[in-house]
Structure 1
Amino acid sequence: MRKAPFHARTRTHPSAHAEGKGACSPFVRLHDNVALAVDRKLGWQHLPTPLGLLTLMGLRDNLRRKNLHDTNGYPAQGVPDIEPPAARHLTERTADGSYNDLDNPRMGMAHSRFGRNVPPDVTFPEPEPQILTPSPREVSRTLLTRDEFIPATSVNALVAAWLQFMIRDWVSHGQGAIDDPWRIELEDGDPWPTQPMLVPRTLPDTTRTEDGDGLPPTYINENSHWWDASQLYGSDLATQRRMRSGEKGKLKAPRDGMLFADAPELDPANTPGFWLGLLMMHHVFALEHNAICDRLSREFPAWSDEQFFQRARLINAALIAKIHTVEWTPAVISHPTTVTALRANWYGLLGERVQRLLGRISGNELLSGIVGGNTEHFGVPYSLTEEFVAVYRMHPLVPDDWSFRSAADDSLLQETNFRELTGRRAYEVFANHGLPDLFYSFGTSHPGLVTLHNYPKFLQEYQRPDEKLMDLAAVDVLRIREMGVPRYNEFRRRLHLEPAADFATLTDNPVWAEEMRRIYDDDIEGVDLMVGMYAEPRPKGFAFSDTAFRIFVLMASRRLNSDRFLTRDYTPQVYTQAGLDWIENNGMTSVMLRHFPELRSPMRAVDNAFTPWNTLHPVT
């Protein structure tokens, strides 16, 4: 008996709808409707840059009105306590992210709920056995397994390290509960050591009431939702205090590669997903924080340790946000239109040169950028979303095989595999090679393309620090289903895109089309979001899919728009002029060269630190 299409397997709850945020003029709505029509007919990526920008503007306006949905208004109990309001909240980021919005101090704080980019009525997870159909393990083995490494040649391997460094700031569902796991039955011939495969369930939202409200499940973000560098500073005050040196605002300096030598309970190697790339990024931005403190101490010698720390944190977090906005993202989606659009998020269409000469000359974000402008939530309290988490599942960026070479002469130092770079083994590799050599090796090698048949083999048999064995490819597929994120075609419908008519139109690879048809039993509506995004043709210069990009169009700017410290309080009074100058005069290249001047030769003439560096000629 044929299954019902997946997009029909939803429950509705009218009171859960949250459409139509914000009023707009008839002209704006006309422009937005034309943008949708043009995008569907021609595709923004096929238009000349000015027309492509106009189209992306219209797409973003539509997404802002129709694809922001609040879950924090659902019934709640036992929400986290917050400290009483204080004068310092005007100029300092709190450890847990509270008081970013002074009128709604819980907004975006740690241990608040993920929001949604699709209407709540389509976010009920499928019941069993549908939620396990087809088997996530078989999807992993048949469609995701890397047969041969497919590189993303336009970027370097730092993009993989940077992305996980950002993820550690933005989102965490926790490590899951194993007392009632998902049970994935294995096919005959599957080499997995235990039957069935057990996957911990995502931790439930402990703030939800149990009165049967009929609303879809919600989940808690253990991190602050704000772009506040919580991966460096922690998401609670006790952790933050353990990270500080107590002198001139500085963080504790790493010793012998160990980030927290005197506080092993804070060691990120205890958390699943830790690897050498994360260790490197933690090091360099801890050093950057301390360099900012040194700069501030020359300007304000009478300041207290607390004053130095709080200003340095603000400056470092904003610099990280800038690097991601104008360097990392344009590198991984290097279409001329998106490069211009992303820089406009920071500087506006008038550009960096005008802003440096004249400052913000307009309150309009299109002309002068989002940063330093008005704070705007678009009618919906800010949070990161489950759909945002889903599209950032980009493990194919990670290569399986790694070579480490000297930054002095490109001589080979070590060849190894990704397994040897994970967990506590990362410290051993770090101890054997200096940071200049490690960054040079990352900068001169390529990450993987985010596509089918390119998932790291090691991550399909990944042993967590608690020794639980996981197939992370299968877990990624299952997690997206578990969170109630719609499958591929329904996801596209909800983002105002045409769904795939069949497998042959989903991908331009006929072999993949046939593999998907068999796995999904000829049901195009059953294709998983991650599989569809990995399979679809990518726009020119993209390392990932256009479908994922739609969430970026919305959320990349929202993270800036909603953050008071990146909009109305991005001022000399809050940051100091020295702090604003530090942010505007620096980027990933200058950060690298400040701490590792040995990298000057390989980085010479490199416009973007996330694009391939110059390979040195070996000494013979």
Structure 2
Amino acid sequence: MKVLLFVCILTVMSAGEADTEVNNIDSVIEQRDDEENNYVVCTLADAAETSQISLEDISKSKYQERHNIRRRSTACQQEARYRTMDGRCNNARWPTWGSTNQPFRRFIDPAYDDGKFVPRLRGVDGHPLPSPRAVSVAVHPGTDSPSDDNTVMVMQWGQFLDHDLTGTPLHADTREQLNLLTAFVDASNVYGLSEDQISHLRNGPYMRTKGDNLLPESNHGGCQTDNSNEWCFEAGDDRVNVFPGLSVLHTVFVREHNRLVKELADVMPSTIPDDVLFEEARKIVSAIMQQITYREWLPIIVGPLAMRKYRLTPGYSFRYNFTQNPTIYNVFASAAFRYGHSTIPRFLTLGDRRVPIEQLFNRPSEVIRDLDTVLKALLKDRRQEVNRFINSGLTEHLFETSGDMGFDIVSLNIQRGRDHGLPSYNSFRKACRLPEVTSFHDSVFGKAGAALRSVYRSPDDIDVFTGAVAEEHVSDGAANCLKSDE
């Protein structure tokens, strides 16, 4: 039977494990008070990709005197009709589980080089690990491998969903990195994470209406000059402008929200407050995102066998389990969910133009010029297959601007994993009760063995991102898999 790393990392805990984890968090807090050297870490990998995520929503002071984020008091309204903006109180017993600014969970203990916070630097034999760039060049070259049956929209929904679930801020005041976002599929990427943020989006002085698009009048991160004006989209997630397809989905969901508010206003009493109309529409939009994710997108990614095995298909009972901690795993955010980078095509067809991917980063003017053309490209162009091959637009020209060199997304992924203390690929196989890979030429890697051997000294040194995307596909799914004899 094949078992997905993607699914394995989402394994639930028992009540006893949940209680243990909370106690461990408390002990870590006390440890931090005694060991000043444990406060870390702004990583190059995090800063490069999430440079549009501001810390202002977390605190204007230095992380609220270090650890108040973890210990913030929470008074839950037991009969509350709507979700909180920051994800608190989903669980009345453990109200901060899944909420913003919480440390990512650990699937297995971190592997820092000094046991505290220095990134993983050495292999099992004590020699330095290969540089992330060397791994990128050797194992992840650009090769065209378009999907036979899936379009770029599959990739784009994955990115849209990721920005609803994970976001590491520029600085973390602890060796356990924080998730800026909520762990729930709650459309927080559309609406934001705080009452102040949504108030700004709804009523702030920087917003104006142009058709159904909300556009700021002043420059914001990732904007571009277009006809002597500065334009960009503003949304609940500041990465809205990273890619035109992402801007399209944000626009579509903003329009859907506005449509729902109008229809609700037409059928509800005129005395209903605006805030109720807003929250009712927000609840429906969140449900739409959940339906698309579980009914349409996830089956494509993990395949029907995994959907049935883990009871993810409609029809199963989804009774609430208060012992299940939904907080995102560090390895999911930093490695497993980044498989989607391999699915991004080298070009996007916009009308009669075949535009290289590097010319589309942080360029929302394509959407402002013609949203429908970008949407048609997402629905028509083929995404790339999930594999170890990453197109050169991402490995040579990521976020490249005129006169500046671009980043390498694979190097960032690998470096982020090491910065975040992620153990090796084999460590995760063992944790998932799968046979450890003892040879570079193990069949699990297909034809990737020679490339892996050219940079790594031992299979036990392989970074989890690289090892996972080098694997073969799960049956009838897009994601790669970990093979098991079970």
Could you say whether these structures have the same fold, taking a TM-score greater than 0.5 normalized by the shorter chain as the test?
yes
Map 1:350-429; keep pairs closer than 5 Å.
368-370=316-318, 373-378=319-324, 381-389=325-333, 390-393=335-338, 394-405=340-351, 413-423=352-362, 425-427=363-365, 429=366
1:392, 1:540 → 2: CA distance?
18
On the 8 A contact 2:240/2:247 being kept in 1, the answer is no
On the 8 A contact 1:271/1:465 being kept in 2, the answer is no
Counterpart of 2:99, as a letter, is M
Q: Give the aligned partner of residue 318 of structure 1.
A: 287
Q: CA 1:237 to 1:127, structure 2 compared with 1: closer, same or farther past 3 Å?
A: closer
Question: Structure 2: which 5+ residue stretches go unaligned?
Answer: 30-65, 222-231
Report the Cα offset of residue 395 of structure 1.
0.8
2:28 corresponds to 1:75: yes
2:182 to 200, 204, 224: 224
1:329 to 280, 298, 307: 298
Q: Give the aligned partner of residue 293 of structure 1.
A: 261
1:375, 1:254 → 2: CA distance?
42
Secondary structure of 1:403's counterpart equals: strand
Please give the per-residue CA displacement for 1:225-273, whole angstroms capped at 9, x wherever unaligned: 2222111111122111111259xxxxx7863796432464475687497
Report the Cα offset of residue 102 of structure 1.
2.7
2:149 corresponds to 1:154: yes
Map 1:499-538; keep pairs closer than 5 Å.
499-507=436-444, 509-510=446-447, 512-521=448-457, 523-538=458-473
On the 8 A contact 1:399/1:418 being kept in 2, the answer is yes
On the 8 A contact 1:67/1:118 being kept in 2, the answer is no
Secondary structure of 2:252's counterpart equals: helix
Counterpart of 2:129, as a letter, is T
On the 8 A contact 1:488/1:528 being kept in 2, the answer is yes
1:111, 1:526 → 2: CA distance?
31
2:99, 2:87 → 1: CA distance?
4
Q: Give the aligned partner of residue 260 of structure 1.
A: 215
Question: Structure 1: which 5+ residue stretches go unaligned?
Answer: 1-38, 46-55, 177-202, 209-216, 247-251, 349-367, 406-412, 550-620
Q: CA 1:495 to 1:44, structure 2 compared with 1: closer, same or farther past 3 Å?
A: closer
Q: Give the aligned partner of residue 547 of structure 1.
A: 482
1:257, 1:465 → 2: CA distance?
30
Map 1:29-40; keep pairs closer than 5 Å.
39=1
Secondary structure of 1:345's counterpart equals: coil
Map 1:132-147; keep pairs closer than 5 Å.
133-146=129-142
1:92, 1:391 → 2: CA distance?
31
Secondary structure of 2:349's counterpart equals: strand
1:118, 1:339 → 2: CA distance?
24
Q: CA 1:504 to 1:548, structure 2 compared with 1: closer, same or farther past 3 Å?
A: closer
Q: Give the aligned partner of residue 252 of structure 2.
A: 284
Q: TM-score when scaled to structure 2? A: 0.76
Secondary structure of 1:291's counterpart equals: helix
Counterpart of 1:400, as a letter, is R
2:79, 2:233 → 1: CA distance?
28
Report the Cα offset of residue 441 of structure 1.
2.0
Q: Give the aligned partner of residue 61 of structure 2.
A: none
1:339, 1:505 → 2: CA distance?
27
1:376, 1:237 → 2: CA distance?
26
Report the Cα offset of residue 62 of structure 1.
7.2
Q: Give the aligned partner of residue 451 of structure 1.
A: 387
On the 8 A contact 2:361/2:398 being kept in 1, the answer is no
Report the Cα offset of residue 97 of structure 1.
1.8
Report the Cα offset of residue 151 of structure 1.
1.5
Q: Matched residue pairs, number?
A: 418
Counterpart of 1:228, as a letter, is D
Larger Rg: 1
On the 8 A contact 1:481/1:487 being kept in 2, the answer is no
Root-mean-square deviation (CA, aligned residues, Å) is 3.5
2:9, 2:167 → 1: CA distance?
26
2:426, 2:289 → 1: CA distance?
34
Q: CA 1:127 to 1:291, structure 2 compared with 1: closer, same or farther past 3 Å?
A: closer
1:519, 1:418 → 2: CA distance?
28
Report the Cα offset of residue 309 of structure 1.
1.1
Q: Give the aligned partner of residue 47 of structure 2.
A: none
Q: CA 1:230 to 1:496, structure 2 compared with 1: closer, same or farther past 3 Å?
A: same
Counterpart of 1:104, as a letter, is W
On the 8 A contact 1:297/1:308 being kept in 2, the answer is yes
Q: CA 1:126 to 1:546, structure 2 compared with 1: closer, same or farther past 3 Å?
A: farther
Q: Give the aligned partner of residue 20 of structure 1.
A: none
Structure number with greater CO (CA < 8 Å, separation at least 6) is 2
Q: TM-score when scaled to structure 1? A: 0.60
Q: Give the aligned partner of residue 242 of structure 1.
A: 200
On the 8 A contact 1:272/1:465 being kept in 2, the answer is no
Q: CA 1:121 to 1:432, structure 2 compared with 1: closer, same or farther past 3 Å?
A: closer
Q: Give the aligned partner of residue 496 of structure 1.
A: 433
